[in-house]
Amino acid sequence: MSRRMHTSIPGLSVLCALLLAIPTAFAQPPDAALKEEVKQRLGKVEQSLDDWDVGGARRELAEVEQRVPSELEPLKYFQGRVAFEEGQYDDAVTLLEGANIEDKPGSYLRLAKDTRAIVKDHQRAESEHFIFFYPKGKEEVLVPYALETLEAIHRALAQDLGWTPPGKVRVEVVNNARELSRVSTLTEKQIRTTGTIAICKFNKLMVTSPKAVAQGYDWQDTLAHEYVHLVVSQMSHNTVPIWLHEGLAKFLESRWRGKGGLAMTPSTQALLGKRVKEDKLIPFEKMHPSIAMLPTAEDAATAFAEVFYAIDYIHGTKGTAGLRTLLQELKAGQPDKKAVEAATGMPFPLFEKTWLTYVKKQPFPQELVPRDDRVVLKEDAKGEKKDSEKKGREISFGGFAEVTEVPARKFAHLGEVLRERNRVKAAAEEYARAHKLVGDKYESVSNKFALALLELRRLDEAESVLRGSLRMHPGSPSTNVHLGRILLFRKDYPKAKTAYLEALASDPFDPEIHVALTRIHGALGETALASRTRGAAANLTGLKPDDVDRAAQAFLRAEDELSETKNVPAGTPDAPKPAPAPKPAPAPQPAK
Domain assignments of the chain as residue spans, ordered by start: 31-118, 122-235, 239-372, 401-474, 483-566
Query: What is the Cα 360 distance to its own chain's centre?
Result: 27
Which has the minimum average pLDDT: 156-165, 452-461, 552-561? Answer: 552-561
380-401 pLDDT, tens per residue? Answer: 665 444 444 445 444 454 678 8
- The pLDDT value given to residue 290: 78
CA–CA separation, 21 vs 76, rounded Å? 12
- The pLDDT value given to residue 357: 94
- The pLDDT value given to residue 202: 95
- The pLDDT value given to residue 546: 87
Taking alpha carbons only, the member of 179, 557, 247, 213 closest to residue 386 is: 213
Average pLDDT of 466-477? 93
Judged against a pLDDT cut of 70, whether residue 174 lies above it is answered with yes
- The pLDDT value given to residue 353: 94
Judged against a pLDDT cut of 70, whether residue 169 lies above it is answered with yes
Average pLDDT of 61-70? 90
Average pLDDT of 200-209? 96
- The pLDDT value given to residue 381: 60
Query: Into which CATH architecture does domain 401-474 fall?
Result: Alpha Horseshoe (1.25)
Judged against a pLDDT cut of 60, whether residue 591 lies above it is answered with no
Q: Which residue has the higher pLDDT, 507 or 562?
A: 507
CA–CA separation, 463 vs 461, rounded Å? 5
Contact 142, 173 (CB under 8 A): yes
- The pLDDT value given to residue 580: 36
Instruction: Using DSSP bridges, classify how beta strands 169-174 and 123-126 pair: parallel, antiparallel or unpaired.
Output: unpaired
- The pLDDT value given to residue 300: 87
Q: What are phi and psi of 207, to 5 degrees?
A: -130, 145
Q: Provide, rounded to the nearest whole percent, the portion of the chain with pLDDT above 70.
A: 83
Contact 291, 194 (CB under 8 A): yes
Taking alpha carbons only, the member of 254, 241, 249 closest to residue 339 is: 241
Which has the minimum average pLDDT: 46-50, 149-153, 498-502, 570-574? Answer: 570-574
Average pLDDT of 98-123? 94
Taking alpha carbons only, the member of 502, 563, 504 closest to residue 536 is: 504
- The pLDDT value given to residue 21: 52
Model confidence band, residue 67 (pLDDT cutoffs 50, 70, 90): confident
Average pLDDT of 99-106? 91
Residues in the chain: 592
122-235 and 401-474: identical CATH topology: no
Average pLDDT of 479-492? 94
The overall average pLDDT reported for the chain is 86
Which has the minimum average pLDDT: 174-178, 195-199, 398-402? Answer: 398-402
Judged against a pLDDT cut of 70, whether residue 418 lies above it is answered with yes
Contact 303, 325 (CB under 8 A): no
Close Cβ partners of 125 (under 8 Å, ≥ 6 residues apart): 131, 132, 134, 143, 147
Model confidence band, residue 192 (pLDDT cutoffs 50, 70, 90): confident
SS3 content of the chain, % helix, strand, coil (to 5): 60, 5, 35
Which has the minimum average pLDDT: 69-83, 199-213, 234-248, 541-555? Answer: 541-555
Model confidence band, residue 582 (pLDDT cutoffs 50, 70, 90): very low
Average pLDDT of 372-376? 61
| CA distances for 203 relative to 229, 285, 363, angstroms | 10, 25, 38
245-256 pLDDT, tens per residue? Answer: 999 999 999 999
Average pLDDT of 20-42? 71
Judged against a pLDDT cut of 90, whether residue 560 lies above it is answered with no
Q: Which residue has the higher pLDDT, 78 or 289?
A: 78
- The pLDDT value given to residue 25: 52
- The pLDDT value given to residue 554: 76
Residue 480 exposed, middle or buried by CB count within 10 Å (0-12, 13-18, 19+): buried
Judged against a pLDDT cut of 90, whether residue 28 lies above it is answered with no
CB neighbourhood size of 575 (10 A): 14
CATH 1.25.40, applies to 483-566: yes
CATH T-level fold of 122-235: Glutaredoxin (3.40.30)
Which has the minimum average pLDDT: 415-424, 427-436, 507-516, 570-579? Answer: 570-579
Contact 190, 294 (CB under 8 A): no
Q: Which residue has the higher pLDDT, 296 or 520?
A: 520
266-277 pLDDT, tens per residue? Answer: 889 999 999 999
Model confidence band, residue 509 (pLDDT cutoffs 50, 70, 90): very high
Return the H-helix or E-strand segment holding 169. Answer: strand 169-174
* pTM reported for the whole predicted model: 0.86
Average pLDDT of 481-507? 95
Judged against a pLDDT cut of 60, whether residue 6 lies above it is answered with no
Which has the minimum average pLDDT: 14-18, 162-166, 270-274, 445-449? Answer: 14-18
